[in-house]
Chains A and B, each alone.
Chain A
Amino acid sequence: MTLKIGLVACAMSCASLASAQTWAPPRTPDGRPDLQGVWTNATITPLERSRDLGAKEFFTEEEAAAYRKRALVPSAVAERSGTEAHYEFTQFGLDRTQAQVAFSLRTSLIVGPEGRVPPLTPEAQQRIAERAAAAKGHEFDGPENRGIQENCIVWGNEGPPMMPPGYNSYLQIVQAPGYVGILQEMIHDVRIVPLDGRPHLPQTVRGWLGDSRGRWEGDTLVVDTTNFTEKTNFRGSRENLHVVERFTRVDDNTIRYEFTVDDPTTWTKPWSAELPLAKDKGPIYEYACHEANYGIANNLKGARAVEKTEAAKAEKKQPE
């Protein structure tokens, strides 16, 4: 009975010791665990634990089923997007109820009793407040004022760490001797990770996705990433972000994806999260974001039109 419960929990949480003992991963010709294929990180688990759950890190089976039932209901446009002026997600297959979701018993992606992002350092709070103050009122001045996501440069989910984007949550892993390639559908970027022990690039060379170096620790692929740009923004952390990701194939259909992020200039301590990557039949589709990014031009044109209307109103109010 205990074993049965254990196995069910394993299937749900993808992290059971029992599984690791009885299941051996398929291997590439050079003997490494084969992580290749198309995977999805779609999830209903929030990054941070709801405060009313306290230190409770895992749901029971019953609680998880109830949570799933509540979470997998198509939500109204304004709830999902923050505005009424949006298309219905369900019409375009963008609702989580319309995609495969990788389930877990976790109550938050963040592991440990706190289950929440640690507090920002005073330095980070000041930095973020200053940036926000400088940007205020200039959000629509020009394309440079719009985010890198809206400019189709890097999508917020790409990281690393790789976070579930909410839809099109697919990634593909390809292995070659000495290298691992990780492609994320949105927005088409691939990280090529050398595994030969070479050092990180000099600090002067920085990339949108940072600079990744990998190694095997037993059957776990460990990827260490530094050298981000000051324009990359992971919850307030920018060029000093340090990410360590761990990929462990735990069964035929699941990779356990763990990450630890560290930035003493942003958080009071490092923090870690874990989520399953579920195997998907694929394929990954092209996502040529720039080619039809009319949204950014429309946003700026909208802002100019609003300014014009407001200026005309102000002129009318002027006394003769």
Chain B
Amino acid sequence: MLVRLSIGIALLGLLVAAAPALAHHAFGAEFDTARPIALRGTVTMMEWVNPHSWIHIDVKGPDGTPVNWMIEGGSPNSLMRLGFTKNALLPGMEIVVDGYQAKDGTNKGVGRSLTFADGRKLFLSESTPGAPGELPKK
């Protein structure tokens, strides 16, 4: 067990060394892995802004009242390079968010994994240009 752990750590060190400055800010300080969230909601707005996009969704509470949540995602510039536009995620679309809530306890979270209601990954699809291992078409 100890051996396996140390190999894991060594591997992590290598990967991190090869991929510098990936996170813009301290995600571990912003979000709480002890507060996992699984939300199904309707998009009210997507902020296509840097350094991070924010997706706003209305989630129905137990009494049916909608509660607005903000979900943090990645830089929109890369989405634009993959061919996505401001029309990729529009108000009214239903999405499922799997992630972690903000440490301050407010209705904010990180979108660890985002899917449409039918299970397709948000933004990513099989037809996504630049799918793993493939260079973007020139």
Contacts and interface: CB of A to CB of B under 8 A. Distances in A.
Contact of A150 (B24, B50, B131): B24
B102 interface: yes
Given A91-B122, A97-B132, A301-B104, A50 B74 contact: no
A202 interface: no
B17 A48 contact: yes
**Majority DSSP secondary structure for residues of A touching B:** loop
Chain B CB within 10 A, most for which of A83, A87, A150, A285? A87
Interface of B: 12, 14-33, 47, 49-54, 70, 72-82, 84, 99-100, 102-106, 108, 110-114, 121-124, 130-136, 138
A168 B121 CA distance: 22
A298 B30 contact: yes
B20 A166 contact: yes
10 contacts: A47-B17, A93-B130, A95-B132, A99-B136, A152-B51, A168-B77, A286-B50, A299-B26, A302-B30, A302-B102
A206 to B, nearest CB: 23
Contact of A140 (B15, B29, B51, B131): B29
Interface string A70-109: 0111110101111111111111111111111100000000
A292 B47 contact: yes
Interface of A: 44-48, 50, 71-75, 77, 79-101, 140, 146, 149-150, 152, 155-157, 163-168, 185, 187, 281, 285-289, 291-296, 298-299, 301-306
Contacts of A298: 30, 102, 104, 108
Contacts of B26: 150, 299
A72 B133 contact: yes
A166 B112 contact: no
Given A72-B133, A92-B75, A94-B78, A295 B52 contact: yes
A41 B12 CA distance: 23
Contacts of A79: 12, 15-16
Contacts of B52: 292, 294-295
Contacts of B17: 46-48
Contacts of A187: 50-51
A73 B54 contact: no
A93 B28 CA distance: 21
Contacts of A155: 21
Given A92-B74, A163-B20, A164-B20, A150 B32 contact: no
Given A87-B111, A155-B21, A168-B78, A288 B14 contact: no
A95 B28 CA distance: 20
A82 B78 contact: no
Contacts of A166: 19-22
Contacts of A150: 24-26
A185 B84 CA distance: 18
Contact of B74 (A83, A94, A185): A94
B100 A71 contact: no
Nearest to B22: A166
Given A44-B18, A91-B124, A295 B25 contact: yes
Nearest to B81: A93
A90 B76 CA distance: 12
Chain A CB within 10 A, most for which of B16, B18, B76, B80? B18
Contacts of A294: 52, 54, 70, 72
B121 A91 contact: yes
Contact of A82 (B16, B81, B105, B132): B16
Chain A CB within 10 A, most for which of B12, B24, B99, B121? B24
